[in-house]
């Protein structure tokens, strides 16, 4: 079981490295067998290759994203967050409010992520995130 300090550090690193566009630090924060349900209902993505592809598909075509933990609660080995994601897509500002749950392993690495959010009306998520469920 990770300590509260390990969980807080993993979460701080996740948000801080992302917002600083520090890809190597962000990627190093994940367990080798990380599982992403991002979003829940889309395809499950597993492993460090999924980490790289999540970064690539989030920032492609000039997209910019800033993620802010509005509220975080830590229980056991998990952190549940209300996350505000602010992005620029095709020159248009997008704000997405979501719920995200992170599981941190004994090494203090992010081992599992589940996210729930609804894109703004008329906006389609990148196919990497939605896979075969894009029409659902």
For the stretch 21-58, pLDDT in tens is 999 999 999 999 999 999 999 899 999 999 999 999 99
Select the more confidently predicted residue: 69 or 92: 69
134 band by pLDDT with thresholds 50, 70 and 90? very low
* pLDDT, tens only, 92-110: 899 999 999 999 999 999 9
Structure tokens at 99: 């719920």
Q: Token pair of 25, please? A: 């630090």
Q: How far is CA 66 from CA 10, 77, 105, 107, 119, in A?
A: 17, 25, 25, 26, 15
Q: What confidence score (pLDDT) does residue 123 get?
A: 73
CA 84 to centroid of chain Cα atoms: 11
Beta bridge partners of 73: 80
Q: What is the CATH number of domain 4-133?
A: 3.10.450.50
Angstrom distances, CA of residue 114 to CA of 39, 56, 90, 93: 7, 19, 27, 24
Which are the contacts of 73, defined by CB distance < 8 A and separation ≥ 6? 79, 80, 81
d(CA 119, CA 87): 11
Mean pLDDT of the chain: 91
């Amino acid at each position: 079981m990770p300590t509260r300090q390990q969980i807080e550090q993993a979460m701080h690193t996740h948000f801080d490295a992302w917002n600083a566009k520090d890809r190597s630090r962000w990627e190093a924060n994940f367990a080798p067998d990380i599982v992403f349900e991002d979003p829940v209902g889309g395809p499950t993505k597993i492993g460090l290759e999924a980490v790289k592809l999540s970064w690539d598909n989030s920032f492609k075509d000039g997209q910019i994203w800033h993620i802010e933990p509005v509220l975080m609660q830590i229980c056991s080995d998990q952190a549940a967050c209300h996350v505000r994601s602010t992005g620029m897509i095709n020159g248009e500002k997008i704000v997405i409010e979501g719920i995200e749950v992170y599981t941190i392993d004994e090494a203090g690495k992010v081992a599992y992520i589940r996210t729930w959010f609804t894109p703004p009306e008329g906006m389609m998520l990148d196919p990497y995130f939605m896979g075969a469920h894009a029409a659902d």
